[in-house]
Structure 1
């Protein structure tokens, strides 16, 4: 589901801040993991269930973000609005959600143009294909600076439809195709980090949810 965009400012990307958050997560992780997986068997079952859930929608995302499929809309970009609504699982769920806090999302989607949605979807898909070609698991795990991740371009205007495709949707699209290379910044994932980091605000004026 759509996750509201949060602007952490420069400090959110600083090494010192990241190390502080990681230290908090390392401290609290064992306690939460123990409640998540009471036994090795339950842990295995939980992971298998998560993988099965991911695979269930993989084909839908592969079809939706296929370059040839997206290119078909170039002659009539306006029609992409109905296309993304019906063919993209995360967009469909967001628009069909009865939650009151999704009203703004639905309004933003209504105001968005098919051309903008198509342009950004194509850019995100192209970014994913390019990024995964040079992605290496060991190199990725050894990185110590946010800039080294090579994801900075995703913050640019070319990858955003304000109110519709922001950090949450963007990360979900890329994660759905390349789960080894992109994190899923879903609402539940953000809340998980909130608890794992000890519900600390880390000095941010907007509180610990940031």
Structure 2
């Protein structure tokens, strides 16, 4: 068992065509199982029969009848509508931050952009900084405090420009879903230092900001999404020497996390492929998914998978911390 280096992304094998095909094959095989649960549990809004029976048993109630099969079309449609409504709640704040005219005005006062716009008006950065209960975020708070206002403004401006150019000049909605090679998606530049403020605007926050403005083309590489991919790929290593490409395990520090260095171009391709599976189900059941919200439903699906395994993820972390985990 090898430990991850702090700046690890993934092993080179993860970019090999044969490796990617193996990952996609397993995703295809596991998809049906999770999609059935996704519908049965109404995208996470319903309680599973197993939990209902546990609760009933504690209350001394026996012979709980199983629910009838869900109306897939109705439930699926409700999930899509609800997901988009939830997504839109704070979207305008991100659109305001990515407004190019506003970004140009901040050139005269980058400190205001950092201390007011990002710290107080960007939901994901605001919640990260003000989450005092999570001690592991102390490092983020420190890095944000010492970061250069000018660098933050420059990187956000570059992200805004990249997204605008991609959407208006590169993106073709009719051809996009036909892509079969991750390189064709054209997002590799986002994994470079030009679009990163190390310790402050990394892969997760960067992708979230892009996702909240252009959900048709930029998936949300969140914590839950990476954990969801680990389960959707059946926790397999696919030839990786260290462990799953979706995990970051450090035995020495007794830490296990989703791989928050996971390359965005690979994540985008897997999210792209998952959408094809979800959209296939939508067409089968005559449920309309607006392609402008393509990755909203993918985000909901991957988050759902992760949340179904919350207890197992907590157990995994405890096992790592106590030295009981053996990832053979």
CA distance in 2, matches of 1:107, 1:47: 38
Aligned to 1:31: 33
Show the counterpart of 1:169: 205
Describe the shift of the 1:17–1:62 C-alpha distance in structure 2 as closer, same or farther (beyond 3 A): same
> Which structure is richer in relative contact order (CA contacts within 8 A, separation 6 or more)?
1
The match for 1:88 is: 122
Post-superposition CA distance 1:155-202 (Å, at most 9, x none)? 222100001111111111111111111111111111111111101122
CA change 1:183–1:18 in 2 (3 A) is same
Q: Distance in 2 between matches of 1:90 and 1:56?
A: 13
State the distance in 1 between where 2:101 and 2:121 align: 15
Map 1:2-41 to 2 at 5 A. Answer: 7-38=9-40, 39=70, 40=72, 41=74
1:80-115 CA distances to partner (integer Å, 9 max, x unpaired)? 211211111111121122323322222221221111
> Is the Cα contact below 8 Å between 1:5 and 1:166 reproduced in 2?
no
Structure 1 residue runs of 4+, over 6 Å off? none
Q: What TM-score, normalized by structure 2, do the two folds share?
A: 0.60
Q: CA shift at 1:150, angstroms?
A: 0.9
Number of positions where the alignment pairs a residue of Structure 1 with one of Structure 2: 207
Q: How does 1:1-210 map to 2 (within 5 A)?
A: 7-38=9-40, 39=70, 40=72, 41-82=74-115, 83-97=117-131, 98-133=133-168, 134-208=170-244, 209-210=246-247
Verify the 8 A CA contact 1:13 1:146 in the aligned structure 2: no
Q: What are the Cα deviations for residues 116-171 of structure 1, in whole angstroms up to 9, with x where unaligned?
A: 11110000000000000120133222222222111111122210000111111111
Inter-CA distance 55–12: structure 2 relative to 1 (3 Å threshold): same
Q: Which is greater in Rg?
A: 2
Q: Which residue of 1 aligns with 2:281?
A: none
Task: Measure the CA separation in 2 of the matches of 1:12 and 1:138.
Answer: 28
Separation of aligned partners in 2, 1:102 and 1:204: 29
CA 1:68–1:127: 2 relative to 1, 3 Å: same
Structure 1 gap ranges (5+)? none
